[in-house]
Amino acid sequence: MTEGQVRLDIEGVVATITLDRPAKLNALTPAMLDQLGEIATGIDRDHDVRVVLLTAAGERAFCSGADIDAWSRLSPVDFWRRWIRDGHVVYDRLAQLRQPMIAVIGGLALGGGLELALTADIRVAEQQATFGLPEVGVGIVAGWSGIDRLVGLIGPSRTKMLGLTGDPVDAAEAARIGLVDVTCGTGEGLDTAHRLAQRIGSRAPIAVQLTKQLVGAVQGEGRAAAMDAMAGGLAMNTADCREGVASFREKRSPEFGNR
């Protein structure tokens, strides 16, 4: 996977997604969005993966956002179809992974980069990390559900402070307002995240995944899907379901017993 410059490595129960375009501060291109979507789909179907790490190459940036050269060349229709719409699909796919995802942030996480970090369940930030929504400075607004996720995480007033001024905050302030969950020294992010991933990965994987889905449902994200999944899982384990399947195969009327 070289064209889009996103890497996937799987070691044991941990999958690591790495943005690998450090010379451009890991700015996102359409090809990178495509790869992120493909990787997310593959991870979600991999029963051996229990935890996902989302990180980036280089010391200066996690992700500086969307590549302005890439999106500014698009026609209005292609901007909507290829950038906004497809980006939403990819970010939602990452946010809705079965497995918990931990973002490891060193350096800049701006615009689409911050919005990408918000798709994770837990954020680990190195002390030099910087967070911001600079879109108003170039005449656009934050996208890819970043405002929605940020309001749910830090509240409307703090989201407005970031979104209206475009001013960045450092890792300490990000931790204070609840934007990040763990802070650590420079160069310690991946090790810190790996330790956390190993703790999560040692727990019962189905219970972990259900807990993630329950939290999302409480927040109003995927509520119908969570209810369907849990009700369906319960129904599948009943004697009535087994009788229903058996009667269908044997072409007879079922004899249900409320059990």
Catalytic (active-site) positions: 115, 135
> C-alpha angle 54/47/221, rounded to 5°?
60
Instruction: Give dist(CA 81, CA 99) in Å, integer.
Output: 28
Q: What is the rounded CA–CA span in Å between residue 31 and residue 201? A: 31
DSSP letter (8 states) at residue 52: E
d(CA 73, CA 76): 9
Q: Is residue 247 classed exposed, middle or buried when 0-12, 13-18 and 19+ CB atoms within 10 A define those classes?
A: middle
Q: Could you tell me which residues come within 8 angstroms of residue 3 by beta carbon, excluding any fewer than 6 positions away?
A: 31, 35
